[in-house]
Structure 1
Amino acid sequence: MVDMIFTRRDLHQHPEVGFTEFRTASHVVKTLKSLGYQVFYGADAIDLASRRGVPADEQLNNAYERAIRDGADVETLSNMKGGLTAVVATLQGKAPGPTIAFRFDMDALPIIESEDADHIPANLGFRSVYDGNMHACGHDGHTAIGLALAERMTDANFAGTLKLIFQPAEEGGRGAYAMAQKGVVNDVDKLFCLHLGLDTQLGEIYGGSTDFLATTKLMIEFQGVPSHAGATPEKGRNALLGAATALLNIHALPRFSSSTTRINVGLLQGGTALNIIPYYAKMLVETRAADKDANKELERRVRVIAENSAAMHELDCSVTVIGEATTMTCDEGLVELVLDEARKVEGFSSFHHYHKAGASEDASFLIRAVQEHGGQATYMVIGTPIPAPHHNQKFDIDEAALPMAVNLLERIGRRALTGGDTRE
């Protein structure tokens, strides 16, 4: 039996960042197989070449060995080497019918979790044991909900196919694109995605979401020439200076009259010692816009600034896309379906059509892929109070939202699968 609270707390205690979710994905695979699902994982669930922002081999290997030490199934892990941590499971109903899918993200964030006594995971003993990693966005809850839903549906008392998608590397917009490229949703008639929190209260439900921003995540590298900073500074080519020039000009980009836009340089690294002209520098940059074309134009301008800042200082420059998300539109019919079923679930008391996101979400690639193949999709938000913002060291969820969410998803699944039973 899937104990949601235990599962959520275990995952919270063992948070794994994008493409290193070896222990998490191994547990997901083991549980789904034990429930009788046909399970696809590793290279069968994600397109290797389409992944973005994959961690360095050393980080992947360290996370892999850590997962083994912490009880992950070695045979399962062998198919996930190199960061192939996506999982897809299917269950056939008792009669032919549509394919209905639910998507759950699994990854954590590189944040040091609070040890303060007023932080419930610390107070109750399930704070992260992986120093520097933390579930600060609720994905531990999402994964626990997905596994509990899988157990609820094992009677296969429906017509059609239930598909459960457990996605790695949502943070930074990296995992969904590669799963979409693998074609995991090409046969899906209806796709339901969800998120806990997002400044909502327990009992609130949003059937869909709007105002998701298209985004591109870029790694920009500058390569110069080292030299003695005192004796021969003129013989060096200062990569850090080129990167700093780019940073200031990127943040000086104008906002758009045609679209909401955002720009941020989130990291700048360079140099090796105070008496050496810095010969290497790296920046991480993100662009965002409410319109995908405006985002592409922002990205183009960032590239122009980077290349010309490098040229000013006689540097080489490379720009790599390490993450991406696009805009999305929820199908009204599914929004209504979610709200209709939520009204029948004890605990839900406040019903809304659309949540205004104002951020980015790479489930957009899965949603667009479903719609491009003639299906429908929505992205719902399930309410839970949070004591601190998402991506904060004191983030937490109200676990009372978990059983409500599973009850809702079961009703949605049984209704959406032709001939399904939505029990009162």
Structure 2
Amino acid sequence: MSSISKYFQDIQEEMVHWRRLIHQYPEPAWCEFGTAAFVAQSLKQWDFTVYMGEELICDERMNLPANESLDKFYTQAMERADLDQEILEKTKGGYTAVAGVIDRGDGPVKVFRFDMDALPVSESRSNEHFPFANNFTSAYNGYMHACGHDVHSAIGLGFAKYLAEHKDNFKGRIILLFQPAEEGLGGMAAVVKHPLFSNVDEAYGFHVWANKEQGEFICGTYGQLASKKFDVTITGKASHAALAPEKGINAMLPAAEIILSLEKLKSEFPRHIRLNVGQMQAGTARNIVCPEAQLKIETRAGDTKTRDQLYSASIKTIEAISKKYACQCKVNLVGEAESAASSVDLAQSIQQMARAAGLFTNCLEGELHNTYSEDFCTLMNHVQNTGGKAVFMGIGASNDSGTHHQTNFDISEEVMWKMASVLANVVS
């Protein structure tokens, strides 16, 4: 066993502790106050240069929650005794991105991304659910880490501790980005234009996969779906449905026609696109002409160009139908991601290293991942378009529990030291 693998086996218990702590306090997009503060204070303890809060977020934050939600999660974080209140204050208002930097002089600039946000999913209280049986289920009703971002953050902390204790093992600049709001595909866009990421040589991201067996490692993925997520508000005019229906403008009518028309629009595009109206909210009462309707919609495609064409066609359809019914419409883009492909030579070098380390039984150089979108793709393209290389890896972590975004989601914690070992080998 290599010295790197032994190091992470030795701190596996500590990484598990961090994972379970973060799991207990799940925070959704832009509300990762406690997680961000815990990460930042840990990085400061290990002598990283820390960027966070408003100094790191340099662009508009898409899909920012209402002040009521921001205040609720911030207050919950304030009640935790393990957090540095001065550091926590820097995240107030939804400024929850954190980056830690170690500079070792001349050498490559390498960025490693770890996402932090949780999901609005109620966690299982079944005795068969490992977190419940081991007393680290979510303390926040209606929210849980149902995708593994708690694991990603804990691996990032383990990697950070290694870097702090082995500074003589590498040259160049290492940037650890703990990213908020990955699930809504809005977090990366808010930070990627920061000068920290202007001259990156290599960028690394990864995901633990509950639907893949332990021992499987994907060194580079490609084909993630480019996506745009947007909300539509259609405004009509309320009126009494019996006394004066002619004085009202029913916003529900264009909303209904928009849903049907967008379903028809899909046939005009290649088969690999996705267009879904996931939610409609409309009306106030049965005897009132509906004054407002809201739609939550997403588009996805196998490449960024097709995504943009599909989005534009959808907006054109929405605006035309709204005008037809004498309604106003407003479109609000709340999240977006690009399609990307891992740099082949970087994936190949990772494959050689992983095989030599003997960490996995099956190391794939690349794999098509065309059934989901990933916010890291925005950073991948940014780095590749400026002359650098980027890769998105995957590690099998199945423990035969629920798959991603389900109430009984969980993973094998054994994969944590292995993934951290891969990252450490990349910089050593």
Fold match, TM over 0.5?
Answer: yes
Match of 1:231 among 226, 232, 243: 243
Match of 1:22 among 29, 33, 37: 33
The AA in structure 2 aligned to 1:161 is R
Normalised by the size of structure 1, how large is the TM-score? 0.94
Residue pair 1:50, 1:181 contacting (<8 A) in 2 also: no
Match of 2:316 among 300, 304, 307: 304
The AA in structure 2 aligned to 1:300 is S
Residue pair 2:266, 2:275 contacting (<8 A) in 1 also: no
Match of 1:246 among 252, 258, 275: 258
Q: Which moved more, 1:27-36 or 1:250-259?
A: 250-259
SS of 1:75's equivalent in the other structure is helix
Alpha-carbon distance, 1:101 to partner: 1.4
Alignment of 1:153-232 (within 5 A): 153-154=163-164, 155-157=166-168, 158-197=170-209, 199-232=211-244
Alignment of 1:320-399 (within 5 A): 320-358=332-370, 359-385=372-398, 387-399=401-413
Write out per-residue CA displacement over residues 373-415 of structure 1, whole angstroms, 9 at most, x where no aligned residue: 211110000111152221111111110111111111111121x
Q: Distance in 2 between matches of 1:63 and 1:224?
A: 34
Structure 1's 203 and 185: CA in aligned 2 closer, same or farther, altered over 3 A?
A: same
Match of 1:5 among 16, 30, 40: 16
Structure 1's 379 and 88: CA in aligned 2 closer, same or farther, altered over 3 A?
A: same
Alpha-carbon distance, 1:81 to partner: 1.8
Structure 1's 11 and 177: CA in aligned 2 closer, same or farther, altered over 3 A?
A: same
Equivalenced residue count is 412
Q: Distance in 1 between matches of 2:239 and 2:254?
A: 16
Unaligned 5+ residue runs, structure 2? 1-10
The AA in structure 2 aligned to 1:54 is L
Structure 1's 362 and 305: CA in aligned 2 closer, same or farther, altered over 3 A?
A: same
Q: Which moved more, 1:104-113 or 1:2-11?
A: 2-11
Identity %: 36
Match of 1:406 among 415, 420, 423: 420
Alignment of 1:101-112 (within 5 A): 101-112=111-122
Q: Distance in 1 between matches of 2:111 and 2:198?
A: 11
Q: Which moved more, 1:140-149 or 1:38-47?
A: 38-47
Q: Distance in 2 between matches of 1:89 and 1:138?
A: 21
SS of 1:370's equivalent in the other structure is helix
Residue pair 1:226, 1:238 contacting (<8 A) in 2 also: yes
The AA in structure 1 aligned to 2:396 is G
Residue pair 1:259, 1:294 contacting (<8 A) in 2 also: no
Partner of residue 5, structure 2: none
Match of 1:87 among 98, 107, 110: 98
Normalised by the size of structure 2, how large is the TM-score? 0.93
The AA in structure 2 aligned to 1:59 is S
SS of 1:96's equivalent in the other structure is coil
Q: Which moved more, 1:280-289 or 1:222-231?
A: 222-231
Residue pair 2:109, 2:174 contacting (<8 A) in 1 also: yes
Q: Which moved more, 1:369-378 or 1:30-39?
A: 369-378
Confirm whether residue 126 of structure 1 aligns to residue 136 of structure 2.
yes
Q: Aligned-pair RMSD on alpha carbons? A: 1.6
SS of 2:108's equivalent in the other structure is strand
Give runs of ≥4 in structure 1 deviating > 4 Å.
256-259
Alpha-carbon distance, 1:321 to partner: 0.7
Match of 1:138 among 126, 137, 148: 148
